[in-house]
Amino acid sequence: MNKRTVLVVDDEAHVVRVLRLMLEREGYAVDCAADGNAALAAMAEHRPDAMVSDIQMAGMDGRALCRAARERYPDEPFLILVMTSMTAADERGWVRELANVEFLEKPLSPRRLAARLAAHFGGAAAAAEETPCTPTR
């Protein structure tokens, strides 16, 4: 059975490491990128089933990455979870303009992330059903 793929995007190496370890233990395949441009390149090679991204990164930030992902792949609105410490309403409004994008509050709990992904994928978290658009790994 094909594993679902989660793309983790963060310039903080420790965050990427812990999320990779936890998600792989939950049965996901994990791709990693350190900024928005690297994430788009990874997406072009292999479209993820979900993406977890930080906002503030050098180069292309998380906000620009989310917009670019929706513009490039409008028919594949995979779940995007954005890690944020910004609490002001005017800094969060942009998410409502995009389909299937949600906030995850920092400090991030890997367990909470796993639960959110499991809920999104309908309980069978790691096992992908027939997904004609997702290439095999």
Partner 1 sequence: MTNKRIGLTLAFSALAAVALVLGLLARRMALAPEPGFAALLALAVLAPAALAALVIRRELGPLAALGEQWRDAGERPGRGPHALAVVLGRRLGQSQQRIVELERAAVASLAEGRLLKYDSNKLQAVLQCLPDGLLVLDPAGELAFATGKIEPLLGVAAGDVLAQPLEQWCEDAELRALLARFRAAGPDSRRPQAIEFNPCRVPDKRLWASAQPLQAAGGELAYGTLVVLRDATREHLARQAANDFVAHVSHELKSPLNVIGMYGEVLADAAADPALRVEAVNVIQDEVERMNSLVNNLLNVNKLEMGSMRPERHRVKLDDLLRDALRQAQPRADSKGVRLELQVPRDVAAVAVDKDLFRIALNNLLNNAIKYNQRGGSVTLAAEETDSGVVIAVRDTGIGMAPEDRARVLEKFFRVRETGPEQRGGHGLGLYLANQIVELHHARLEIESELGSGSVFSIHLEKMPALAEGANVL
- Which range in 68-76, 79-87, 92-100, 127-135 contacts partner 1 by CB under 8 A? 79-87
Q: How many whole angstroms separate alpha carbon 6 and alpha carbon 59?
A: 21
Q: Where are the beta strands (DSSP E) in the chain?
A: 5-9, 29-33, 50-54, 79-84, 101-105
Tell the smallest beta-carbon distance from residue 56 to partner 1 (Å).
6
Q: Which of 2, 18, 60, 76 binds partner 1 (CB under 8 A)?
A: 18
Window 81 to 120, contacts with partner 1 (CB under 8 A):
83, 85-86, 106-111
3 secondary structure, DSSP code: B
Determine if 56 is a binding residue for partner 1 (CB under 8 A).
yes
Structure tokens at 115: 């639960």
Q: Are 2 and 28 in contact (CB under 8 A)?
A: no
Site residues for partner 1 per CB under 8 A: 11-15, 18-19, 21, 34, 56, 58-59, 83, 85-86, 106-111
